[in-house]
Amino acid sequence: MELKSHPDVLIIGASTAGCATAESLRHEGFTGSITVLGNETSAPYNRPPLSKHVLLGEWESEKADIFTDGAAERASIDLHTDVTAHALNTAERSVSTSRGDISYGALVIATGARARQLPASVDPDHVALTLRTREDSVLLRERLENSRSVVVIGSGVLGSEIAAAARKKGCAVTIVGRSGALTLGSVRDLLTQRLERLHAQNDVELRLAEGVASITHDGTTAHVTLTSGEQLDADTVVAAVGAIPNVEWLESSGLTTSPALNCDSHGQCAENIYAVGDVAAWHDSRTGRWLPDEHQLTALQHSQAVARHIATGEKAEPPVPFFWSELYGVRFQAYGRFPAEAELVTTHGDRESGDFVALSMLDGLPHGVVASNMSRDFRQARPAVDATLSGTPAPATTTTPSTAPLGGQS
Ligand SMILES: Cc1cc2nc3c(=O)[nH]c(=O)nc-3n(C[C@H](O)[C@H](O)[C@H](O)COP(=O)(O)OP(=O)(O)OC[C@H]3O[C@@H](n4cnc5c(N)ncnc54)[C@H](O)[C@@H]3O)c2cc1C
């Protein structure tokens, strides 16, 4: 397909945030030309299923595709894969790409993040796999199917999800993390005891205050040596040690990237330039800080807000962080903020071992709500969090969720 040299809106990055921005522009009634460029070779896809359904073999990876049945063409979105943006010239309003220079009316930066690799000093032969792309998930799935033992390095939510998938495949699994805790997205380490119990119930070994000194492979087995001197042998080693925003191509642009791309509280980083999704850190006027938030729903909310701004000039409120994950069939959802100084207060159920709802309370107000398997109560608590975060706290009675029966779903 021909690449337009001057689209009205140019979107760099063809994944969740970039594609959602294009679609949202059409929903907002935008009739100008939209070009989306992405440097992956495959059709755009969503990543959350990769560590869940695709890894478990429940889905072929194509089921994670974003555009199905010609949806991009129908919406007159010019989508081009296998095109890399190399540099941005804000004065000229142009992006230099692997297929030539493209000028723009408005630019949306949606280049996301990539998996952080272990340092070469620890893993010189790249024994550890990572999980970020469609290809990674297909490769890891194959490896899990042929492995008896797996070491997962990284005690964040992705490490936990990979461990859960590996257990379901029958592998013996050890998670190694150096922070001393298991973390869960925006909730950080507040649910570590619950997660430890969940992994223990599923026979996952934990080494949570251990660094990795070295990883070697003897041709048959990988050997992971921990800083304590303990050696773990495994058929497969996976590193889930975070993500790095893809901002290097913006180095000469003058935009602030530290480490994500700083924007105002509506996603704008310069005149006619916006950033959405994992690459972006939107300004939070409450804390005065730029807050990166590498979660799927945040990427979607960024996209809707920026699309509305471009299409109508209307500035939407910055999104409230919303995160979910699923481990061993337990669905965790978290909405709002969980600052270190807040106290987590259980309002329903049993946080240590069962289904629950808990509020992140600071100065007597709920700043966040987290739940496992109690979607209805979780939803009912959200308006109180919205009220706190928007600076219009609701009366005290509405900050407590309803007393619906435990496990209430809808
Ligand atoms: C395995 C996995 C599971 C996840 N599960 C969950 C979950 O359960 N819940 C949740 O809330 N979040 C989850 N996330 C996070 C969620 O997937 C991300 O927040 C989301 O993908 C962000 O979308 P994005 O479009 O901003 O960035 P990305 O998905 O990183 O996409 C950016 C795209 O831009 C491309 N690109 C980069 N540089 C360039 C360039 N110079 N030129 C052209 N293209 C470029 C990249 O190749 C990529 O295709 C998960 C992430 C992973 C990896």
Tokens of 203: 């026979």
Rounded to whole angstroms, how far apart are CA atoms 264 and 283?
5
pLDDT for 348-388, tens place per residue?
Answer: 999 988 899 999 999 999 999 999 999 999 999 999 999 99
Nearest-5° Cα angle at 359, 321 to 197: 95
Candidate of 111, 134, 183, 257 to mutate for ligand 1, largest count of ligand atoms within 8 Å of Cβ: 111
Rounded to whole angstroms, how far apart are CA atoms 358 and 132?
30
pLDDT value of residue 398? 36
pLDDT value of residue 258? 86
Q: Are 185 and 325 in contact (CB under 8 A)?
A: yes
The arithmetic mean of pLDDT across residues 255-280, rounded, is 96
Residues with CB under 6 A from ligand 1: 12-18, 37-40, 47-48, 50-51, 84-85, 110-113, 131-132, 158, 246, 249, 277-279, 294-297, 299, 323-325
Nearest ligand 1 atom to the CA of 323 is 11
Q: Are 336 and 389 in contact (CB under 8 A)?
A: yes
pLDDT value of residue 334? 96
Q: What is the distance in A from the centroid of ligand 1 to the CA of 223?
A: 30
State CA 202 to chain mean position distance: 25
**pLDDT-derived band at 399, boundaries 50, 70, 90:** very low
> Which residue carries 């869940």 as its tokens?
52
In the chain, count H helices and then E strands: 8, 26
Parallel, antiparallel or unpaired: strands 280-284 and 289-292? antiparallel
Q: What is the mean pLDDT of the chain?
A: 93
Residue 335 has pLDDT above 60, yes or no: yes
**pLDDT-derived band at 394, boundaries 50, 70, 90:** low
pLDDT for 225-253, tens place per residue?
Answer: 999 999 999 999 999 999 999 999 999 99
Q: Which residues pair with 331 in a beta bridge?
A: 326
**pLDDT-derived band at 171, boundaries 50, 70, 90:** very high
| Structural domains in the chain, sorted by start | 9-114+244-312 (3.50.50.60), 134-241 (3.50.50.60), 329-399 (3.30.390.30)
Q: Are 253 and 96 in contact (CB under 8 A)?
A: no
